[in-house]
Structure 1
Amino acid sequence: MRKKINERTYRGGCHCGRIRFEVRGKLERVSECNCSICTKKGYLHWIVERAAFRLLTPSDNIAAYTFNTKVAKHLFCPNCGVASFYIPRSDPDGIDVNARCLEGVDLSRLEYEHFDGRNWEQSMVGHKGIERGRVAK
């Protein structure tokens, strides 16, 4: 049985510490995506509103990568290469945090959902918008 998690502020960042942030929310569920980039990065998605996210280090410390539709902004540390958060295609007004980059989070206590990112367009058909904290890609 999974324990209910209350809303709180989480701290996170990249491996070398050049990128640090805080995010406020109720982290109960993450999404795993099977698309090419998420699979290679091992990303566990948690989408939050931009107002819930606060970058603690200069934005100059962040590099960006885009491909395909160029809507998603895949952000990462140019020093250690870790992708701790990005702007998702499915919710470009939100921030998608990699739960693996948050401090003090027991990933085994979270619910996992699968998102078929290999078939992104088909997976989004009929979807009634992105419910932050639930679906990610």
Structure 2
Amino acid sequence: MSKKPTERTYRGGCHCGRIRFEVKGTLERVSECNCSICTKKGYLHWIVERAAFRLITPPDNIAAYTFNTKVAKHLFCPNCGVASFYIPRSDPDRIDVNVRCLEGVNLSRLEYDHFDGRNWEQSIAGHKGLERGRAAK
């Protein structure tokens, strides 16, 4: 019998440690997107409420990249290049955490959703954002 996930606080960050954060919630599902940037980054998405996310390191440690509509803020460490979280176009009032950057998460135990980001406009119309998970408010 599989154990039901419970709410907890996850710690995460970039490879070099310059960016560190905590996120509180119940992590059961992640989303994979096939758009050009998510595919190249290998991003596994968990969108949470901003109140569930706490940046531990100074915001000055973070660089940003935008393109196309400029709504999404693709944040990354300017030292090691790792993108551990960002502001998503689908939910700009939330934080999209890269689950691969969380400590102690067994990816094989999570359920996966797939989002067709190559056809973003059509896909988002039938999908109210990538998997949001159940994050604490």
**TM-score category, normalised to shorter length:** over 0.9
**By how many angstroms is 1:126 displaced?**
3.5
Tell me what 1:29 maps to: 29
Structure 1 residues 84-123: Cα deviation after superposition (integer angstroms, max 9, x where no partner): 0000000000000000000000000000010000000000
**By how many angstroms is 1:133 displaced?**
1.9
Tell me what 1:40 maps to: 40
| TM-score calculated relative to the size of structure 2 | 0.93
Tell me what 1:107 maps to: 107
Residues 2 and 116 of structure 1, relative CA distance in 2, 3 Å threshold = farther
Q: Is the 8 A contact 1:47 1:94 kept in 2?
A: yes
Identity of paired residues, percent? 90
Q: Which moved more, 1:96-105 or 1:120-129?
A: 120-129
Separation (CA, whole Å) in 2 of partners of 1:111 and 1:44 = 11
Q: Letter of the 2:90 partner, please give it.
A: S
Q: What secondary structure, in the 3-state scheme, does the structure 1 residue paired with 2:22 have?
A: strand
Q: What secondary structure, in the 3-state scheme, does the structure 1 residue paired with 2:60 have?
A: helix
Separation (CA, whole Å) in 2 of partners of 1:18 and 1:49 = 23
Task: Name stretches of at least 5 consecutive residues in structure 2 with no aligned partner.
Answer: none
Q: What do you get for the CA RMSD once the two structures are aligned?
A: 1.5
Tell me what 2:82 maps to: 82
**By how many angstroms is 1:128 displaced?**
4.4
Q: Letter of the 1:63 partner, please give it.
A: A
Q: Letter of the 1:54 partner, please give it.
A: R
| TM-score calculated relative to the size of structure 1 | 0.93
Tell me what 1:58 maps to: 58
**By how many angstroms is 1:132 displaced?**
1.8
Q: Letter of the 1:85 partner, please give it.
A: F
Separation (CA, whole Å) in 2 of partners of 1:7 and 1:98 = 18
Tell me what 2:5 maps to: 5
Q: What secondary structure, in the 3-state scheme, does the structure 2 residue paired with 1:108 have?
A: helix
**By how many angstroms is 1:33 displaced?**
0.2
Q: Letter of the 2:110 partner, please give it.
A: L
Task: Name stretches of at least 5 consecutive residues in structure 1 with no aligned partner.
Answer: none
Structure 1 residues 3-32: Cα deviation after superposition (integer angstroms, max 9, x where no partner): 421010000000000000000000000000
**Number of paired residues?**
134
Separation (CA, whole Å) in 1 of partners of 2:31 and 2:124 = 14
